[in-house]
Structure 1
Amino acid sequence: MTRRLILFLLLSFSLIPYTYASFEFTTNCKQAYTEILNLRLDVAQQYLEKEREANPENRLIPLLENYVDYFRILSSDDKSLFDKLKKNKSARLSKISEGSKESPYYLFAQAEINLQWALVRGKYQEYVASALEIKKAYNMLNENLEKYPDFLPNKKGLGMVNALIGSLPSSAQKALGTLGVRGSTERGEKMLEGLVEDLPKSPYKMFYDESVFYLMQVWVNITKKKQAFEAIYVLTDPMEDTSLLKLYMRAFTAFKTGHNDEAIKHLSSRPKDADYVDYPYLDYLLGMAKLHKLDFSAVTDFQRFLNGSNGGSYVKDAYLHLAYISLLKGDSAAYKTYCSKVKVEGTTYDEKDKQALSEVDEGIPNISLLKARFLFDGGYYKRAKDLLAKENANSYKQKRDKIEYCYRFARVFHETGGVNGAIKFYQYTIAFGKDAKYYYAANAALFLGDIYVAKKQYKTASSYYHKAIDMKNHDYESSIENKAKEALKRMEGKY
């Protein structure tokens, strides 16, 4: 081979572009990710198709496609769709594994897919598979954090995993511990809080909206942050006003923190453009918010939810609340009809639906206590207190009603700053209800623990947390027990 031929071949090969499976947030990928978080999933898919044509080797495509599936399942709550789409997981992981191992997205993308499926599987009670996926995500994210400590997106999944594991019942935490997965709600919360603060001034600011979504879930559902409403409003302000996820976060936080009118305002003005994903749960949420102010037009929203749902979560609970509206309107025939539907329609994946079955079996509730419950849950504390003050608990024939009366009064006092009144009525609740199957007494003990922590009377707080743990065979047992154990952990070394 002549020197001239060798030189020609070398020059020829040097002109062939060096290609490899990349992880690149191109314009199409950024647009797709933005639209996913806006819950305009079909629009997001169109951007991904454009990216596939322009850059088929981009290994972020399968990750973003998994995001589409994840949010589609969450918004539809369709078990059959979940069963169909979960088959996509292995092929996507296989494609990502062909990418460059030198990219911080290599392990991150695989971890994200495992975590997303773990969260969805947990919803549908596939606990073993969910635990294994959490383990994989946990290990990958920790390894990636060690290799790329400045890659902030690692902390998004790690923060959520830590917070989630810390909130699980002790038995579930032990099971995950045998897999080498251990978490702390406090550590996860702090990690997400720090991440949300750091992202806007970093190259990874595109992950801000999703990180706020995770933090909102932790604050509202797990740690019950007192200032969650105000904080989430500030944190979501930079998000696009067209984002349905932004609207959901604001509405859900308002709903869960006693800012009911704000929840109604947001849910009533949500965008109805065809590009947005169908999200029946928002109709259920609007129905609940209206009912919390005793607005019986909630019937329309519950019916719309039932018509749009796929028979999954909150169906039993929606029928229960339609039954309660009928009862409050004096229509006993409709009340019985809806109660019968609670027993046969929907699923019991969610605690709300399990509780709905339990409440139906308890029989007709006390009308005044039912109204007080709804008003309290909506944050209308004065209306609830005025209603309860007119009641004579000694006239109640059922022990259940006497226990609930004490509990409802305690909660109103607690939320309006009447600590002494709250302590007295929580103690009454425990005295009357410690051996009953209702959750009131155990939750009263939990709240008393919180009150005495605020007073820095840690021994007294500890005794009430232990009382909450020791009460068994009641509704929400595992949830209350785990909250008490988490509180005891936070108090370690203080007394």
Structure 2
Amino acid sequence: MASLAGIFLRTAHSARRAALRWAGGVAGWLLVSGFAAPVQVGSPAGQPSASVAATGELTPASRRAYAEVLKLRLGPARELLRVELSSTPKSPSPLLVANCIDFAELILTQDATRYEAAEDAQEARLAVLDKLPASALRDYARAEITLHLGLSQLLFKHVVMGGYHLRSGYHQMQDVVKRYPSFLPARKTLGICQFAVGSLPEGYHWLLSLLGLTADSNDGLKNLALAAAQPHDFQTESQIYLSLIREGYYKKPEEALRLAEHLHAQQPDNLLFSYLLISINKRQHHGEAALAAFRARPTGAGYQPVSYLRHMAADLLLYQGDYAASERENLAFLREYKGLHYRKDAAFKLYLAAWLGGAPPAAVARYRAQINEPGPTDVEEDNYAQHYYHEAQALNPILTRARLQTDGGYNQQALATLRTFRVTPNTLWRDRIEEPYRRARAFQGLGRLDSAWFYFERTQSVAGPKAPYYFAPQAALQQGYLAQEAGKKAQARFYFEKALHYPWHEYKNSTDAKATLALRELK
């Protein structure tokens, strides 16, 4: 019995890690769940016409409410749906949008006290949908809400039921596409599911077999591209998904950045579009632009608080070297945030800000100790923080500053910082590997690709094939991208395969997923 229980717990833990890997943090949870909505605002309120029912469009009131959800104005969105929901719904539309409101609130707050009520509401909406006449929108709403339910359950550790509902929602969405092949919203969500399943690293294939899930990530991209190219209620959402996948997995950030800038310019009062602009600029090492977008974000009555934005701002301020401001933002994040994820990462960043900022030793030690407080390590940032704590090796202040500077796009400053680094007989092996890697990333950010290539090679030669750090596999991955951009397919394949062959490291899941997708693209 003990061994069976152990197997079950390991399986459940891996399943939850896979789901969180699929969702990819707060942004992924929002986007993968069908949260985003169309940019355009609908026509005046009224009952759905025959054409609305036939085409599967949202009703006018639901469309206006969905536009408010998109702005993260959840209270006003609920008010706009009140009349449609006050009587027995005749359309699936308000049920779908009402579920998006509750789900967005649950995911943004990650407040466990809201979970049971949200789950009950989701199941009640599914029961009402079962009684409505079959249609493209009815069947789509049922599949979408089932996926929401599964993601909610997995987030709050109800692994078995969460896995069941994710599997059920996925298969339901496949059936919707088969039954209504021209209904583009279903292709959008199916495309996301297919890409998520098809892009999971080999280490999770046992889980997919257990759940009976198979998919080709290329089929997912095709469905998403189809949904992004033609007008429908969820076209903008489809475009966001597609651009983020191309940015995150295929090193094609320009499309995502252009789209985020366009959406933000079109709706500067839209908090979700501000979030997209901040996060894309942050990932692309445009620290100043990301910080400017954070400071210009819409605030005020009606907007759902997004605590995670403060955590992002704390990172950006850390890159800039404003350690006191970074500390304030992360402390505010920890006060306001109700969830469990990113707390270890916030404690690690508080430790860095205190240590690099010259805080008293007691404060530095206190923040470091907070990393080891009970909490999950499902997301890679928390896993990295916990690994740092257990490794119990002091960080090098020069390399740490250089890392933060390159993360923020301050590449000249990073190279100046690295020029002060000196290798001594006491220099840790980890630091000997990291130093050329930091130089490579700084040169890469400056567009000096020959120098970047040289230092990526040096990183791997110093590390050898078995170093348990992410520097060498990431160097190989970046060389694969550089060779791919230069049209050298054989060389790119060599480095992507090399990235996959490194042993465990802190970012192995995401590195392996990117290398695997890049190899498929080369074919």
Could you tell me the TM-score, scaled by structure 2's length? Answer: 0.82
Aligned equivalents of 2:482, 2:198: Cα separation in 1: 22
Residue pair 1:446, 1:468 contacting (<8 A) in 2 also: yes
Post-superposition CA distance 1:44-68 (Å, at most 9, x none): 1122221123663333232222111
Match of 1:360 in 2: 389
2:331 equivalent to 1:303: yes
Structure 2 residue 300 is the aligned partner of structure 1 residue 273: yes
Q: Please, which of 418, 426, 440 is the counterpart of residue 388 of structure 1?
A: 418
Q: Deviations over 1:428-484 (max 9, x none)?
A: 222222322211111112222222223333333333222222211221222222322
For residue 317 of structure 2, what is the aligned residue in structure 1? 290
Q: Which runs of 5+ in 2 are unaligned?
A: 1-49
Once the two structures are superposed, residues 201-249 of structure 1 have per-residue CA deviations (whole angstroms, 9 ceiling, x without a partner) of xxx2x32343344335424443342314532235525753321111111
Q: d(CA) in 1 for partners of 2:253 and 2:237? A: 22
Question: 1:292 aligns to what SS in structure 2?
Answer: helix
Equivalent residue for 2:457? Answer: 427
Residues 284 and 301, structure 1, Cα contact 8 Å, conserved in 2: yes
1:385-464, aligned counterparts within 5 Å?
A: 385-394=415-424, 397-433=427-463, 434-464=465-495
Shift of residue 490 of structure 1? 2.0
- Aligned partner letter, 1:32: A
The answer on 1:478 being equivalent to 2:513 is no
Pairwise CA RMSD: 2.5
1-structure distance, mates of 2:448, 2:409: 15
Residues 128 and 419 of structure 1: CA distance in aligned 2, closer, same or farther (over 3 Å): farther
CA distance in 1, matches of 2:269, 2:83: 22
Offset, 1:125: 5.6
In structure 2, the partner of 1:344 is 373
Contact kept in structure 2, 1:42 and 1:275, CA below 8 Å? yes
In structure 2, the residue matched to 1:242 is 269
Structure 2 contact 383–506 (Cα < 8 Å) conserved: no
Deviation at 1:178, TM superposition (A): 6.0
> Would the alpha carbon gap of residues 292 and 190 (structure 1) be closer, same or farther in structure 2, given more than 3 Å must change?
farther
2:142 to 110, 132, 136: 110
Q: Bigger relative contact order, structure 1 or 2, given CA contacts below 8 A and separation 6+?
A: 2
Shift of 1:173: 3.9
1:166-245 to 2 correspondences below 5 Å: 166-173=198-205, 175-177=207-209, 179=211, 181-199=213-231, 204=232, 206-237=233-264, 239-245=266-272
- Whether contact under 8 Å (1:167, 1:222) holds in the other structure is no
Match for residue 30 of structure 1 among 55, 63, 67: 63
Question: 1:271 is aligned with what amino acid?
Answer: P
Q: Residue 79 of structure 2 corresponds to which residue in structure 1? A: 46
CA distance in 2, matches of 1:385, 1:122: 43
> In terms of mean alpha carbon deviation, does 285-294 or 230-239 score higher?
230-239
1:5: which partner in 2?
Answer: none
Query: How far apart, in 1, do the equivalents of 2:188 and 2:262 lie?
Result: 16
User: Within 2, Cα distance between the matches of 1:124 and 1:256?
Assistant: 27
Give the TM-score normalised by structure 1: 0.86
Structure-2 change in CA distance of 1:186 and 1:255 (3 Å) = farther
Report the equivalent of 1:86: 119
Aligned to 1:313: 341
> Which of 379, 404, 429 is the aligned partner of 2:409?
379
Partner AA of 2:72 in structure 1:
L
Identity of aligned residues (%): 27
Alignment-mate amino acid for residue 486 of structure 2: K
Change in Cα spacing, 1:129 to 1:223, as seen in structure 2 (3 Å) is farther
On the 8 A contact 2:344/2:385 being kept in 1, the answer is yes
TM-fit CA distance, 1:404: 0.9
Structure 1 distance, partners of 2:196, 2:102, is: 21
Paired residues of 1:173 and 1:182 also in contact (CA < 8 A): no
- The residue that corresponds to 1:259 in the other structure is 286
For residue 289 of structure 1, report the CA deviation from its aligned partner. Answer: 1.2
* Counterpart amino acid of residue 113 in structure 1: I
The size of the alignment, in residue pairs, is 466
The change in CA–CA distance for 1:118 and 1:425 in structure 2 (over 3 A counts) is farther
Q: Which moved more, 1:141-150 or 1:123-132?
A: 123-132
Would the aligned equivalents of 1:232 and 1:253 in 2 still touch at CA under 8 Å? no
* Aligned-pair CA distance for 1:88: 2.9
Q: 2:266 and 2:114 mapped to 1: Cα distance?
A: 29
Offset at residue 185 of structure 1 (A):
3.5
Call closer, same or farther: CA 1:457–1:198 in 2, change over 3 Å: same
Larger radius of gyration: 1
C-alpha displacement of 1:179:
5.0
- Measured in 1, the distance between the counterparts of 2:388 and 2:508 equals 16
Matching of residues 5-84 of structure 1 within 5 Å: 25-53=58-86, 56-84=89-117
1:35 offset after TM fit, Å? 1.2
Does the 8 A contact of 1:316 with 1:345 survive in 2? no
Superposed displacement of residue 305, structure 1: 0.6
Which aligned runs of 4 or more in structure 1 are off by greater than 6 angstroms? Answer: none
Amino acid across the alignment from 1:244: L
Unmatched tracts of structure 1, length 5 or more: 1-18
Alpha carbons of structure 1 residues 128 and 55: separation in structure 2 relative to 1, 3 Å: closer
